[in-house]
């Protein structure tokens, strides 16, 4: 039916349809042939590279370094830090996650092929010579192997190799905590050859100093520190087996003080101020002032113990230790001041109390005598009228108690038991002034200390 319909069409239409079908068949054939050609070329390329690698490894001894007996093997290195931190003050160590790159030239691996750079996997790295680099101050280093070993190997046609590994290094960081918590530290990362001396293998930085150690913009994992920058260097160490080249990278850290201000400094300052409130209480308020003194001393003891928990057990005093010690001295002095005031207050009060007691006893005896006279007068009234002296006694008996009370009361009113001690008056001014002056000198001294770091390259 389709053929019949086509035959009924005009001649020009039939010719166009025939041309279209012929072109479609031709394009299909060409595409298939092109795909087959690409597959053939890819297979030839794979075969070519396989032959190249086989020829390179034929007779290759990975136990011998490049240029043995002819030249010193030069290894170029650089580091890209993907994650820095955390830093442990107690153990004096830090953790860093890096891409560790090494590049060297091996003339035995020169090749000529369709590609200038031959990308390889980690299996090839085990068949060729690689530098025996290790970290001098590393406590624990881990090479990541998930899901496959995180290694990159590229071979260039002139025999230059680029070898990159992803490592997590836990390294030592010597710390001097005299200025803690306003301190700065320089954490080193040292690496070099384990077996080859500098006459056999030497290391150099691939790029200039500012780019040889690069830290990612979001690579900081620090809560208590700011990563100020990093510096690089090179040194030679001597041992019983020879001289070795050591590459050094220093990461410069500045501690953040905010946590310690909130947790230690402000509580210490408030405790000292609280201890000085007792100077404004009456010196007879023994329970209240005793509670102030003992409580503040115990609080300072607790703060001093808790402040040391996050630090290593160093034999010297830190800046925080000095601050806590001075605050402790102020609090303890306030307690001693109250004891002194209370001692003198007790002496004066006891003497006055005795005089008052004696006067009260005299007053009571006089009242008793007067009452006795009054009773005698009442009982013997008929005889009293005949005696001219008795009315005088009666008047004296009736009026003398009032006069005695009147004489005693003014003496009691003159005695004041709530007087302010001179020691308290002096302490109200002296203690705050001394504590304020100490804080002024302390913070001005430590906050203005800035470490001088040569060739510092700030982090991003």
pTM of the model: 0.72
pLDDT at 455: 56
pLDDT at 11: 53
How much of the chain exceeds pLDDT 70, in percent? 72
pLDDT at 386: 44
Mean pLDDT of 201-207: 93
Which pLDDT tens digit goes with each residue over 388-405?
444 444 444 444 545 444
DSSP conformational letter for 277: G
Reading phi first (left if > 0) and then psi (alpha if -120 to 50, else beta), residue 387 is in beta
pLDDT at 22: 55
CA distance 82 to 215: 6
By mean pLDDT, which of 17-26, 214-223, 439-448 is the weakest? Answer: 17-26
Average pLDDT, the chain: 80
DSSP conformational letter for 265: I
By mean pLDDT, which of 15-19, 70-74, 115-119, 330-334 is the weakest? Answer: 15-19
pLDDT at 388: 46
CA distance 363 to 359: 6
Cβ-contact 94, 139 below 8 angstroms: no
For residue 226, give the 3-state DSSP assignment: strand
More confident residue, 86 or 349: 86
Measured over the CA atoms of residue 284, residue 290, residue 291 and residue 292, the dihedral's sign is: positive
CA 228 to chain centre: 14
Q: Kindly tell me if the per-residue pLDDT of 251 is higher than 70.
A: yes
pLDDT at 453: 65
């Amino acid at each position: 039916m389709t053929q019949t319909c086509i035959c009924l069409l005009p001649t020009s239409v039939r010719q166009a349809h025939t041309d279209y079908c012929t072109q479609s068949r031709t394009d299909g054939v060409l595409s298939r042939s092109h795909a087959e050609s690409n597959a053939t070329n890819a297979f030839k390329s794979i075969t070519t590279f396989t032959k190249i690698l086989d020829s390179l490894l034929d007779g290759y001894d990975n136990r011998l370094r490049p240029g043995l007996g002819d030249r010193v093997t030069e290894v170029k290195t650089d580091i890209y830090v993907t994650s820095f931190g955390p830093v442990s003050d107690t153990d004096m160590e830090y953790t860093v996650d890096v891409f560790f790159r090494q590049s060297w030239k091996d003339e035995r691996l020169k090749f000529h092929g369709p590609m200038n750079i031959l990308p390889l996997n980690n299996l090839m790295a085990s068949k060729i010579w690689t530098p025996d680099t290790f970290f001098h101050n590393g406590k624990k280093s881990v090479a990541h192997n998930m899901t496959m070993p995180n290694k990159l190997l590229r071979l260039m046609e002139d025999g230059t190799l680029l070898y990159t590994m992803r490592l997590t290094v836990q390294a030592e960081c010597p710390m001097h905590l005299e200025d803690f918590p306003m301190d700065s530290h320089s954490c080193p990362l040292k690496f070099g050859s384990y077996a080859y001396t500098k006459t056999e293998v030497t290391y150099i930085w691939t790029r200039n100093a500012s780019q040889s150690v690069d830290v990612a913009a979001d690579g900081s994992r620090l809560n208590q520190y700011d990563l100020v920058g990093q510096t690089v260097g090179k040194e030679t160490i001597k041992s019983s087996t020879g001289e070795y080249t050591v590459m050094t990278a220093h990461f410069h850290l500045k501690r953040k003080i905010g946590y310690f201000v909130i947790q230690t400094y402000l509580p210490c300052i408030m405790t000292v101020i609280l201890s000085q409130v007792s100077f404004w209480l009456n010196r007879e308020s023994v329970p209240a002032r005793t509670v102030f003194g003992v409580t503040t001393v115990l609080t300072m003891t607790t703060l001093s113990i808790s402040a040391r928990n996050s630090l290593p057990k160093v034999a010297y005093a830190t800046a925080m230790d000095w601050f806590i010690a001075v605050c402790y001295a102020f609090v303890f002095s306030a307690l001693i001041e109250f004891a002194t005031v209370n001692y003198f207050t007790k002496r004066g009060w006891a003497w006055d109390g005795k005089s008052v007691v004696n006067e009260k006893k005299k007053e009571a005896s006089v009242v008793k005598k007067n009452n006795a006279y009054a009773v005698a007068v009442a009982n013997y009234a008929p005889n009293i009228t005949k005696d001219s002296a008795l009315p005088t006694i009666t008047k004296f008996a009736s009026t003398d108690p009032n006069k005695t009370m009147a004489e005693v009361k003014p003496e009691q009113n003159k005695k004041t038991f709530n007087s302010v001690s001179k020691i308290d008056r002096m302490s109200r001014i002296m203690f705050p002034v001394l504590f304020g002056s100490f804080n002024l000198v302390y913070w001005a001294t430590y906050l203005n200390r800035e470490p001088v770091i040569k060739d510092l390259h700030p982090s991003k």
